[in-house]
Amino acid sequence: MGLPGLRAAAWALRRACGSWTPHLGPRLLCLHPMAGNGEAPMPVGTKQEQNKKARSGWQGPTRIWEETEQQAKKLKSSEDGEQQRKLPKRKIVLLMAYSGKGYHGMQRNVGSSKFKTIEDDLVSALVRSGCIPENHGEDMRKMSFQRCARTDKGVSAAGQVVSLKVWLIDDILEKINSHLPSHIRILGLKRVTGGFNSKNKCDARTYFYMLPTFAFAHKDHDSQDETYRLSAETLGRVNRLLACYKGTHNFHNFTSQKGPHEPSARRYILDMFCEEPFVREGMEFAVIKVKGQSFMTHQIRKMVGLVVAIVKGYAPESVLERCWGEAKVDVPKAPGLGLVLERVHFEKYNQRFGHDGLHEPLDWAREEAEVTAFKEQHIYPTIISTERQERSMAQWLSTLPMHNFSATAHTAAGLGTKMVSSMQCQEAIGLGGDCGQQESSCST
């Protein structure tokens, strides 16, 4: 058979067997080209086979092995992360207690390491204990973080509550506390509803203000006499004046940058009173407690400051009534050292969800002993020792004669007004306070 006949037979066989014939090797079908015919034809089915494999996604054994190896490495490196992601992520609240000395308040200033806050240490402990991923620490909104109250520079707390979403790891409280300093403790944890917000769901806050009783001594008495003891008569007068704050009033004179016509200046005080005094390390102290729906910037410190000024004889009692009016009254601001957030209240939430069989009431009765122990170990000693060393109350009392209580702040003499403003700023910076932070972030 000649060459043309052989070629014809090959093409006939190809049509009969399909586009690829494994029994016919390339030697049979790749014939030598005739002169002038160009390149030799490709082996039968080679191009069609490649197209078919390309359409089916086949990438060859080398490519498959490389991808398998990469997946194995990725799985191995993220084994711990995947294990955590399988844990349930739930909305909870944490009961916190802390001593605020040395901290620039509660709220974290992301991106700023100049001023250390309580939340800086808290977020670091949450990440290191494995409760939240690291990127949630950088953007706290990712874990739906919210504090119940924003405390000022140097202000402590015995019952702060924060809400957030975390991985419910085993022994979660012990692991978080192991990464916190001893003066910051997580005392309790409870599950809450998915939409719970500790700031918005809080009905009221209770603060206490601890101060040496010589602050109530008459102005003619030695303002630094540690032997002073508060009489029953003076204590009765103090409580009578504190009771004047109860109810709804316009507290625009007890904060800054709020006018008398702003609705947010009206606040509701449920109770305010001074407890019986007690002696610590030879010095007598008293605790003033105040419960209100919410508080503005420096409001509590100014409420205490004005009562002290009246009892000492620097201001008349009538100044309290003038404070509710539209005129701006010069109200002194007590030091921030003795202010403590004692408790936050969730009455409405407890009524609706506290007994639904799924959630616990937020009353923290079981943690009360731990709260008391923390106050005795960290809060009271810090206030007492700092007062002895820095004499913040005694120094502040010496500024009271500079205030003009007989005239409004706007009508006071120019020089006197400048002196008062300067002294208030010095008090804020040098005596444990500051000129712009809030005691509580809540507002009505």
Q: Annotated active-site positions, please?
A: 152
Kindly give the residue spans of alpha helices, DSSP state H, lying in 364-404: 368-374, 380-390, 392-397
What residues form the annotated binding site for substrate?
A: 207
Q: Please tell me what DSSP assigns to residue 378.
A: I
Which residues contribute to the annotated binding site? 207
Residue 122 CA to residue 133 CA, distance in Å, equals 14
Angle between helices 299-312 and 232-242 (to 10 degrees): 140
Query: Is residue 115 within 8 Å of residue 154, measured between CB atoms?
Result: no
CA distance 259 to 384: 36
Contact 298/114 with Cβ under 8 angstroms?
no
Nearest to 296 by CA among 158, 421, 436, 198: 436
Which residues, at least 6 apart from 333, have a Cβ–Cβ distance to it below 8 Å? 298, 301, 302, 305, 424, 427, 428, 433
Q: Where does residue 207 rank: exposed (0-12), middle (13-18), buried (19+ CB within 10 A)? A: buried
Cβ count near 254 (within 10 Å) = 26
User: Angle at Cα 55 formed by Cα 50 and Cα 59, nearest 5°?
Assistant: 65
> What does the buried/exposed string (b/e) look like for 139-167 if buried means 16 or more CB atoms within 10 Å of the residue's CB?
ebeebebbbbbbbbbbbbbbbbbbbbbbb
Q: Residue 321 burial by CB count (10 A; 0-12/13-18/19+): exposed, middle or buried?
A: exposed
Furthest C-alpha separation in the chain: 138
Phi and psi, residue 272, nearest 5°: -160, 125
Q: How far apart are CA 235 and CA 253, in angstroms?
A: 25
The dihedral sign for the CA sequence 232, 235, 241, 245: negative
Tokens coding 21: 């014939």
Task: Give the separation between CA 429 and CA 83, rounded to whole angstroms.
Answer: 48
